[in-house]
Structure 1
Amino acid sequence: MGQRRRLKLDEIDRKILQILQEDGRITNAQLSKDIGLSPAPTLERVKKLEQAGIIQSYHAVVDKEKVGLGVMTFVQVSLISHKKSVIEKFVDKINKIDNIVECYYMTGAADFLLKIVAEDIASYQKLMLEQVSEIEEIEHMQSMVVLSVFKQKRALPIPDDVIEE
């Protein structure tokens, strides 16, 4: 196995990442003003961060409620087995369900944590009964309905030290 190269981020790189996480639509001209560099080296640094895979994508953040998705839940899932084939079948099936917007493989009491959005409780119940509970690889599920969101930070804190490339 090859040795991983490391990309050292300086204060300007970290500031670029902070600004772009808050506003991915900022112009290069404005970004360059905000970080104190001219536009050409600013663009070069952004391209370097993209090529290194540190910046993976740019996307719009959609307000769930304004598009009719008023219910958000987290579902802890325990599988019938920890065999690779069982995990792969489960992941393949949940990837086909659009309302499951996030899936995490976990340690602890459950194997997976799913984040699910739905229009309302009735549509959530229908989704669970007709799709999720029909997945044969699931042994046990526990749902937690989100009542309120008090913090939802999308920007990651960028550490001062080295990040792997």
Structure 2
Amino acid sequence: MTRASSSRRPTLDGFDRAILRVVQQDAKTPQRTIAERVNLSPAAVQRRVAAMEDAGIITRNVAIVDTAALGMAITSIVEVHLTDERTATVDAAKALFRDAPEVQQCYYVTGGISFVLVIVSPDMMAYEATTRRLFAENPAVATFRSLIALDRVKVGAEIEILPKG
């Protein structure tokens, strides 16, 4: 990976992009296997992965779990509209949503709503308690709308790594 000046993001070369393709599919892939796939030495792969972690390109290594296997039968996508978009209001909402264990994903968005959240719950009673706590009893929330997922069609964090240029 070629490092640019400290004010710019590092430039990814073809090897970095190939490594990212592999680790997005399975972050536990041994570096020896990655090295074979991308035609580098294991030491070179280790250095490049460490550099991408230091640069914030690789931010975390996580496990994607089957929510149903954990007893989380309800997945809901929730649109939240705040009463206003003042910095204090938005920052308080971000903190509340970030700290709620039921909230699996949270996005601050444009387009007429303030946030889109993905929430998991074991049942509808628990989901109702979550919506009361996070939205209905929250004076900063003007409205919210729940969309209950019928099927988990795709899940993951794999991003297409396009070639440079």
- Give TM-score, length-normalised by structure 1: 0.88
Give the fraction of aligned pairs with identical amino acids, expressed as a percent.
27
Q: Which runs of 5+ in 1 are unaligned?
A: none
Does the 8 Å contact 2:135/2:144 carry over to 1? no
Give the whole-Å Cα distance in 1 for the aligned partners of 2:40 and 2:96. Answer: 47
Residue 135 (str. 1) matches residue 145 (str. 2): no
Structure 1 residues 123-153: Cα deviation after superposition (integer angstroms, max 9, x where no partner): 2122212443211100011111111122334
Residue 155 (str. 1) matches residue 145 (str. 2): no
Corresponding residue number in structure 1 for 2:67: 64
Shift of 1:94: 2.2
Q: Which runs of 5+ in 2 are unaligned?
A: none
Corresponding residue number in structure 1 for 2:109: 106
Shift of 1:88: 1.7
Aligned mate of 1:117, from 116, 120, 143: 120
Q: How does 1:42-57 map to 2 (within 5 A)?
A: 42-57=45-60
Give the whole-Å Cα distance in 1 for the aligned partners of 2:96 and 2:54. Answer: 32
Structure 1 residues 95-125: Cα deviation after superposition (integer angstroms, max 9, x where no partner): 3321012111111121111111100122212
Corresponding residue number in structure 2 for 1:86: 89
Q: For this pair of structures, how many residues does the alignment match?
A: 161
SS at 1:98's partner residue?
coil
